[in-house]
Amino acid sequence: AQSVSQHNHHVILSEAASLELGCNYSYGGTVNLFWYVQYPGQHLQLLLKYFSGDPLVKGIKGFEAEFIKSKFSFNLRKPSVQWSDTAEYFCAVKAGMDSSYKLIFGSGTRLLVRP
């Protein structure tokens, strides 16, 4: 069965620090990968996505992620975080290209950025 692992459950950083959140998935076929963010009291928003092509994907608000197929990883990065990046971050995978469209989410990483 497909699964997504986010090993960092809680991350605390100071403003201007660099961020890397880990995401690993288990699925051997074609995958579409996503990072969603959920700010306090707000709905899930798409940060970025990978479907094909350049494995380095740039998203909104200065976030980027790198798809490394050999490591089954899709880690999220940001060079310099801001207080406003405090949120919960979910990695998700849509496995396969057939008619079964299911987004499988990781357990999430709560990021707290201290001013």
Partner 1 sequence: DTEVTQTPKHLVMGMTNKKSLKCEQHMGHRAMYWYKQKAKKPPELMFVYSYEKLSINESVPSRFSPECPNSSLLNLHLHALQPEDSALYLCASSQDRDRGGETQYFGPGTRLLVL
Binding site for partner 1 (CB under 8 A): 30, 32, 34, 36, 42-46, 49, 51-52, 90, 97-103, 105-108
CB nearer partner 1, residue 17 or residue 32? 32
Round to whole Å and give the CA distance between 99 and 101: 6
Q: Please report how close the Cβ of residue 46 comes to partner 1 at its closest, in angstroms.
A: 6
The answer for residues whose C-beta is within 8 angstroms of residue 48's C-beta and 6 or more apart is 34, 35, 57, 58, 59, 60, 63, 64, 65, 76
CB nearer partner 1, residue 54 or residue 115? 54
Tokens of 75: 């880690």
Q: Please report how close the Cβ of residue 40 comes to partner 1 at its closest, in angstroms.
A: 13
Q: Please report how close the Cβ of residue 9 comes to partner 1 at its closest, in angstroms.
A: 9
Residue 14 C-alpha from the chain's centroid: 20
CB nearer partner 1, residue 49 or residue 77? 49
Round to whole Å and give the CA distance between 10 and 33: 21
Q: Please report how close the Cβ of residue 48 comes to partner 1 at its closest, in angstroms.
A: 10
